[in-house]
Structure 1
Amino acid sequence: MRQVAGIARRLHHKLGDPRQANSFSSKRRAVRFAELTRRFPDLAAMRVLDLGGVPDFWRSAPVRPSFVTTMNLDKYEPPEPWLEHVVADACGLGSLDACRGDYDLVVSNSLIEHVGGYQRRRDFADVVRAAAPSHWVQTPDRYFPVEPHYVAPGFQFLPLRTRARLVSRWPLAHERVHTVEEAVEQILTIDLISTTELAHLFPASDIWHERLLGFSKSIVAVRTG
């Protein structure tokens, strides 16, 4: 069992850890960032609000905007004058009061599927539109064959109880759980959405598909102003 667990940890490290430069996750992030800069060639001169983001993402980004505010529920202490962090709910319009306004672009990567239900996703979309004239909102595609959080084929289509039983034993889960009830709690924080829903939430936006082996891996609502 220890040998299996060790292999699983190494596989997760290679596939799913975005902090590792050579991981699969990092390489896919680089593909998306290249598309971001293609869509927004003036990114270096823009003021960016990153909903759900963390300061380290922008410290290591290939292009550094003129100013960035990252917002999520965790606390960070960015020391750079070009970078601030706000602890707030990205689904509340009132959270924008804590930010230095006049943003050119809202960026959000893999957050909307975690905010908690359709109404919360609608509220999130309202915040995105209120914050800036342009946006880039990315989320994993619900219909990609491999569920990204657990690196498990078809996992998102199984009944909740079945998923919970699998997660409590699955070695590639992004966060370890020890009971079925803990697994249920974890699974319910993830609600992958489809292209149809993303287009419904952002009707004035273009939907870009990040493809892998012909499948749509991620979907992005893009508006360039």
Structure 2
Amino acid sequence: MLKEIAGHYSTRARAKRAELLCKHIAVRPEDRVLDLGGGTGNHFHSIFPNHRKVVIADVLEDDLKLAREKYGYETVQLPDGDESLPFTDKEFDVVFCSSVLEHVTGPKEDVEWTKDGPHFEAVGREHQFAFATEIRRIAKRYYVQTPYRYFIIESHSWLPGIIVFLPRPALVHLLRFMNKFWPKQTSPDWRLLTIGEFSQMFPDAIIEREKSLGFIKSLMAIKA
């Protein structure tokens, strides 16, 4: 039941964000678009089903294979833990990146379950700022969305948002325990962003705030 409710909620939220994206950025037929961290391509296709000049970039080859076979998209596999992107300056007319930035925290084997909070924060921040710089380098226009740090529900675990204030060792212990029975399992490779950090990462963008239940749920940096 909880998964069904969350699924409907997520679908509605994505639809609203898609409306906002289309309001700011008109994707023309001739535009070359990169979906960064786009996986199977399902999300992008749900917004722009008729656009063909699409590149899906992701670390998971199995997902990229589905994107090629299902939609005929061009694909590029990215190395895990490396924030540099194998594209030239302003190569893409539009870069689309949804719910990816918070996971750009360094090589997964080093950070995923580490209990070293200061190290995780420092390395994660460094990688996220570098990744944002890369997006700005390769994109003429861009849309980047990430969950907000202080929403009432933490989006990766579906647990109360207060968990973001836990010390790293306590958070790791809690998630290991909850993964045994909780319907939403996660590994804590994510580092959620504040409005201030996000704005610093994308100084040339408009920062939109998506709200839900009266609270800020996610942040969107849009350069049109």
Bucket of the pairwise TM-score, normalised by the shorter protein: 0.7 to 0.9
Offset from partner CA, 1:56-83 (integer Å, 9 cap, x none): 2233335543411111100122137862
CA contact (8 A) 2:97 2:143 kept: yes
Q: For residue 143 of structure 1, what is the aligned residue in structure 2?
A: 150
CA pair 81-151 structure 1, distance change in 2 beyond 3 A: closer
Alignment RMSD (CA, Å): 2.2
Q: For residue 167 of structure 1, what is the aligned residue in structure 2?
A: 175
Q: For residue 191 of structure 1, what is the aligned residue in structure 2?
A: 191
Compute the displacement of 1:12 (Å).
2.4
Q: For residue 37 of structure 1, what is the aligned residue in structure 2?
A: 22
Runs of 4+ with deviation above 6 angstroms: none
Mean Cα deviation higher: 203-212 or 83-92: 83-92
Q: For residue 219 of structure 2, what is the aligned residue in structure 1?
A: 219
Distance 2:210 2:52 in 1: 27
Distance 1:66 1:213 in 2: 36
Q: For residue 83 of structure 1, what is the aligned residue in structure 2?
A: 73
Q: Which has the higher contact order (CA 8 A, sep 6+)?
A: 2
Q: For residue 96 of structure 1, what is the aligned residue in structure 2?
A: 87
3-state DSSP class of the match of 1:169?
A: helix
**Quick one: which amino acid aligns to residue 115 of structure 1?**
V
Q: For residue 115 of structure 2, what is the aligned residue in structure 1?
A: none
Q: How do residues 13-32 of structure 1 correspond to structure 2 at under 5 angstroms?
A: 13-15=4-6, 17=7, 23-32=8-17
Q: For residue 152 of structure 1, what is the aligned residue in structure 2?
A: 159
**Quick one: which amino acid aligns to residue 26 of structure 2?**
P
**Quick one: which amino acid aligns to residue 92 of structure 1?**
S
Question: Are 1:115 and 2:115 an aligned pair?
Answer: no
- Report the number of matched residues: 195
CA contact (8 A) 2:97 2:144 kept: yes
- TM-score normalized by structure 1? 0.78
Unmatched runs of 5 consecutive residues or more in structure 1: 1-9, 18-22, 177-185
Q: For residue 4 of structure 1, what is the aligned residue in structure 2?
A: none
Q: For residue 181 of structure 1, what is the aligned residue in structure 2?
A: none
Offset from partner CA, 1:101-134 (integer Å, 9 cap, x none): 8421111011111111112112211221121211
Question: Are 1:48 and 2:33 an aligned pair?
Answer: yes
Compute the displacement of 1:46 (Å).
2.6
- TM-score normalized by structure 2? 0.78
Distance 2:167 2:49 in 1: 42
3-state DSSP class of the match of 2:174?
A: helix
Distance 2:129 2:50 in 1: 29
Distance 1:33 1:172 in 2: 30
Compute the displacement of 1:42 (Å).
3.5
Mean Cα deviation higher: 122-131 or 61-70: 61-70
CA contact (8 A) 2:35 2:44 kept: no
Question: Are 1:11 and 2:21 an aligned pair?
Answer: no
Distance 2:77 2:127 in 1: 18
Q: For residue 210 of structure 1, what is the aligned residue in structure 2?
A: 210
CA contact (8 A) 2:2 2:183 kept: no
3-state DSSP class of the match of 1:96?
A: coil
